[in-house]
């Protein structure tokens, strides 16, 4: 039996795994100490929980546990990485390279630095959302101090050639940061093998609690300098002051432990369900375009453009299914998704994209129901909408 509503927006956030909740509970009541309290058992228990979680988080990215810093989430980690490097390495240069399809946490941070006089290069991507490694190489200058390219795109699921990007950065003596929020716990992320210097991700994308994240900073070869973003204490190697969120950190650690153990099996299952969803929709509808790379993509992501179907209207028509659009807008007066614009995804149908995000609790029955409803409602909207009578690049593009 299907339980409604159906949740297919796992890229946005995930429910907390019951085992994670169980791991967190003692640190709200019984073991409520401050991890910085070094003089009694309450503080020692809290500190032990934090250090255990640090090791669990480190294992999922194959890092030294001492190189993991706890933050409030990926957004803070990204700010710490980019602004921290920008300030610390200003004597060397003020040029930072990123891509045009980064998450707003990266793009807005870079725009903030631009307003302060930093030079930012935004690399273009191809129709699949992939960065050109040669273009990256040619963009590096004497004053380049950092490259920041996301591991997996949060909208279209494309996986970037991280190993090649990191290798170019190393050869040029430039630090490399990646926002791995949509990658950790879903595909193998190995900071050592890939040569990653700095990495950011969040707990709530992998069935952990909200409000906690991690920042990896390689401690050796090279020794990386970083200007802290929050002052007021010596916590987290002096890089992130403030009382640690012990329950959240304990839950984050457990979520990473579960993700590492289940990742391969889970992604295999979700990829099969994702492919079933795609094949079911394209067998029932014509005019469907896949956004992102057909194979170099995360297994639980499906981003489709349904031509001549307004995505907002479709979401209203199938409100029993929690989905999201591939667009950051709700009306023509608001800018469309920067990711879809960057890959030149059907300008005439820029408001026809739907993102499906599958996850740990997605079932075959839910996928079959979603196929039938998307096909049914999309066909209905095409019949009743004046858009269907126009050509792909005609009046619809002007609407």
Predicted pLDDT at 302: 98
Predicted pLDDT at 398: 31
Residue 87 located in a structural domain: yes
Q: Does residue 82 surpass a pLDDT of 50?
A: yes
Q: Which of 88-92, 234-238, 333-337, 355-359 has the lowest mean pLDDT?
A: 333-337
Give me the count of residues in the chain: 399
CATH of the domain at 370: 3.90.1150.10
Residues 204 and 333 in one domain: no
Residue 251 located in a structural domain: yes
Are residues 81 and 215 in contact, defined by beta-carbon separation less than 8 angstroms? yes
Q: Does residue 216 surpass a pLDDT of 70?
A: yes
Q: How many domains does the chain have?
A: 2
Q: Which residues contact 228 (CB under 8 A, 6 or more apart)?
A: 80, 84, 238, 239, 240, 241
Predicted pLDDT at 228: 96
Residues 322 and 208 in one domain: no
Predicted pLDDT at 169: 98
Residues 250 and 315 in one domain: no
Residue 274 located in a structural domain: yes
pLDDT band at 335 (very low <50, low <70, confident <90, very high): low
Residue 49 located in a structural domain: yes
Residues 57 and 202 in one domain: yes
Residues 308 and 346 in one domain: yes
CATH of the domain at 171: 3.40.640.10
Helical H runs in the chain?
18-24, 41-60, 74-88, 104-115, 133-139, 162-172, 191-194, 246-284, 311-317, 338-342, 364-384, 395-398
Residue 215 located in a structural domain: yes
Q: Does residue 331 surpass a pLDDT of 60?
A: no
Q: What percent of the chain has pLDDT over 70?
A: 93
Interval 288-313 mean pLDDT? 97
Helix (H, G, I), strand (E, B) or coil at 72: coil
Residues 291 and 242 in one domain: no
Domain extent at residue 299: 6-11+263-398
Residues 92 and 211 in one domain: yes
Query: From the centroid of its chain, how far is CA 173?
Result: 26
For residue 306, CA distances in Å to 7, 351, 393 come to 20, 9, 14
pLDDT band at 388 (very low <50, low <70, confident <90, very high): low
pLDDT band at 243 (very low <50, low <70, confident <90, very high): very high
Residues 277 and 249 in one domain: no
Could you say which of 233, 258, 283 is where a domain stops? 258
Predicted pLDDT at 351: 85
Residues 241 and 273 in one domain: no
In whole angstroms, what is the distance from residue 53 CA to residue 30 CA? Answer: 18
Could you say which of 243, 258, 273 is where a domain stops? 258
Tokens matching residue 106: 């990266």
Helix (H, G, I), strand (E, B) or coil at 258: helix
End-to-end CA gap in the chain: 41
- Catalytic one of 110, 169, 256, 329: 329
Predicted pLDDT at 399: 29
Predicted pLDDT at 349: 74
Q: Which of 52-61, 142-151, 324-333 has the lowest mean pLDDT?
A: 324-333
Q: Does residue 397 surpass a pLDDT of 60?
A: no
State yes or no: is 256 an active-site residue.
no
Residues 91 and 195 in one domain: yes
Residue 230 located in a structural domain: yes
pLDDT band at 344 (very low <50, low <70, confident <90, very high): confident
Residues 102 and 195 in one domain: yes
Predicted pLDDT at 221: 83
Interval 254-262 mean pLDDT? 98
Q: Which of 7-16, 131-140, 144-153, 325-334 has the lowest mean pLDDT?
A: 325-334
pLDDT in tens, 149-206: 999 999 999 999 999 999 999 999 999 999 999 999 999 999 999 999 999 999 999 9
Residue 57 located in a structural domain: yes
Residue 1 located in a structural domain: no
Residues 267 and 184 in one domain: no
Q: What is the DSSP string of 109-138?
A: HHHHHHHTT-EEEEE-B-TTS-B-HHHHHH
Half-sphere exposure of 160 (CA within 13 A, CB side): 32
Could you say which of 258, 277, 311 is where a domain stops? 258
In whole angstroms, what is the distance from residue 166 CA to residue 147 CA? Answer: 9
Interval 52-57 mean pLDDT? 98
Tokens matching residue 137: 């190489």
């Amino acid at each position: 039996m299907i339980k409604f509503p159906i949740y297919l927006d796992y890229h946005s956030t995930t429910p907390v795994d019951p085992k994670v909740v169980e791991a967190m509970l003692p640190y709200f009541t019984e073991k409520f100490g401050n991890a910085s309290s070094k003089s009694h058992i309450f503080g020692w228990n809290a500190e032990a929980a934090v250090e255990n979680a640090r090791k669990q988080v480190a294992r999922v990215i194959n890092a030294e546990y001492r190189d993991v810093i706890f933050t409030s989430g990926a957004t803070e980690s990204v700010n710490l990485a980019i602004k921290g490097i920008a300030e610390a390495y200003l004597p060397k240069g003020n040029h930072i390279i990123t891509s045009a399809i980064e998450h707003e946490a990266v793009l807005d941070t870079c725009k903030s630095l631009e307003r302060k006089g930093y030079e930012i290069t935004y690399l273009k991507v191809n129709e699949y959302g992939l960065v050109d490694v040669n273009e990256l190489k040619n963009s590096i200058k004497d004053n380049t101090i950092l490259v920041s390219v996301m591991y997996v795109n949060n909208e279209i699921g494309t996986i970037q050639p991280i190993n090649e990007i990191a290798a170019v950065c190393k050869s040029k003596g430039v630090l490399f940061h990646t926002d791995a929020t949509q990658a950790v716990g879903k595909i193998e992320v190995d900071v050592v093998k890939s040569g990653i210097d700095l990495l950011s991700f969040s707990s709530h994308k992998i069935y952990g609690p909200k409000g906690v994240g991690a920042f990896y900073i390689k401690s050796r070869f090279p020794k990386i300098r970083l200007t802290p973003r929050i002052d007021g204490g010596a916590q987290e190697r002096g890089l992130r002051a403030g009382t640690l969120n012990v329950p959240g950190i304990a839950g984050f650690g457990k979520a990473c432990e579960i993700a590492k153990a289940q990742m391969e099996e889970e992604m295999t299952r979700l990829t099969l369900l994702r492919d079933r969803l795609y094949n079911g929709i394209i067998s029932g509808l014509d005019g469907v375009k896949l956004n992102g790379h057909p194979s170099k993509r995360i297994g639980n992501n499906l981003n489709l453009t349904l031509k001549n179907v307004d995505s907002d209207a479709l979401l209203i028509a199938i409100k029993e299914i929690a989905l999201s659009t591939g667009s950051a807008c709700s009306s023509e007066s608001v800018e469309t998704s920067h990711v879809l614009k960057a890959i030149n995804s059907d300008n005439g149908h820029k408001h026809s994209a739907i993102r499906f995000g599958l996850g740990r609790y997605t079932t075959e029955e839910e996928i079959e129901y979603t196929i039938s409803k998307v096909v049914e409602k999309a066909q209905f909207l095409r019949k009743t909408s004046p858009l269907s009578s126009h050509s792909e690049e005609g009046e619809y593009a002007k609407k």
